[in-house]
Amino acid sequence: MENPFKFGTVVDGNFFTDRTKELIYVKSVLNSENHIVLISPRRFGKTSLVIKAAKETDRPVLFLNLESMTDKRDFAVAILKHIFKLFPFEKVKHMMRNFRFVPTLSMSAIGDSMDISFVPQINEDAVLEDSFALLERVAENGKIIVIFDEFQSINEIAPRLDKQLRAIMQMQKNINYVLLGSQESMMREIFEQKRSPFYHFGTLMTLNKIPYDDFSEFIEERLPEAVGEYKKDVVTDILAFTDCHPYYTQKLAFHVWDIIDREGFRQDVVNKAIEISNYIHDNDYERLWISLNKTDKRVMRYMAMNPRMSSLAPASLGMATSTIYSSLKRLVRSGLAIKTDTYIIDDPFFAEWIKTRM
């Protein structure tokens, strides 16, 4: 039997966990004339959710991660490449007649991909505008869905790019935009600050952890029969460790299932799975720990020992509140910590590694 738990990639089918209400809501927005802004920490499953919703609309989907873009030219090339994947080049080449800077196109030797380049002395604004114009034109025969992941990185690609994109996107009629982001404070600044070009651009949605009961049922149904009467205990131990974090719950359940499948059931199977995972990633965690400055190490160690922490300075840390708050902001920005009502370490396996090593 194939391991029924999957993590690290976009999931669909039987691997997709719950999110029934969220799926219905996203599809309802995509079937309207509106755009959607979706915020959640990394690895909460927002990409899997919107791609599943988009697929169920049976419309063309273009997905881009803005963190991988280095400049406007990069952005334009990525858009064009995805357009040519969705639509045969022969059907869209006539739409490029009005391009101010015609790109050089070349097919790979086996003909399954296209390389796109522009001359060095190019107006990047014009290239990007022409690419978005082509996107709108190919959508005239049927609306398409465009998903931009890590949208908070928009102005890291180029200064004031948000103003340019808003001017373009607000005039388009045949596209539903889905804008995803993992940095909540930055995303809310982009979409909720009146001075921002993207103020109230789309309906804003926050994706939370999967509810305990739903996740519990999902895991219990998929555990091997060898667990027998201990299924509920194993599920409780898994969710107590991961606190219902979608990615890490799937990861831990994967290792638990694998141990049972190979060795049979043991009552300490969850602890054994945590131990195996941390052994596999020991070098990764070591490098990550070494990369932290002294202050961030102290704060991370405190959070590992005290899973929920406020920004107020605990006496045992011996640091000013402002110093701790600055550290927490850095850790959240880097994805190592999550801010909800308190601050917690995002990766419970890393937290366990810190506790073990310290």
Q: pLDDT digits over 203-243, tens only?
A: 999 988 888 999 999 999 999 988 889 999 999 999 999 99
**pTM to 2 decimal places:** 0.83
| Amino acid code (one letter) for 3 | N
Q: How far is CA 311 from the centre of its chain?
A: 25
Q: What is Dmax (Cα atoms) for the chain?
A: 70
SS3 state at 309: strand
Q: Residue 260 pLDDT more than 60?
A: yes
Q: Is 228 left (phi over 0), alpha (psi -120 to 50) or beta?
A: left
Q: pLDDT digits over 177-212, tens only?
A: 999 999 888 999 999 999 999 999 999 999 888 889
The share of the chain scoring above pLDDT 90, in percent, equals 62
Provide the pairing of β-strand 343-345 with 337-339: antiparallel
Where does residue 173 rank: exposed (0-12), middle (13-18), buried (19+ CB within 10 A)?
Answer: exposed
Backbone φ and ψ for 34, nearest 5 degrees, come out as: -105, 170
In the block, residue with structure tokens 């001017």:
167
Calculate the average pLDDT of the chain. Answer: 89
SS3 state at 198: coil
118: how many CB neighbours lie within 10 A of its CB?
17
SS3 state at 176: strand
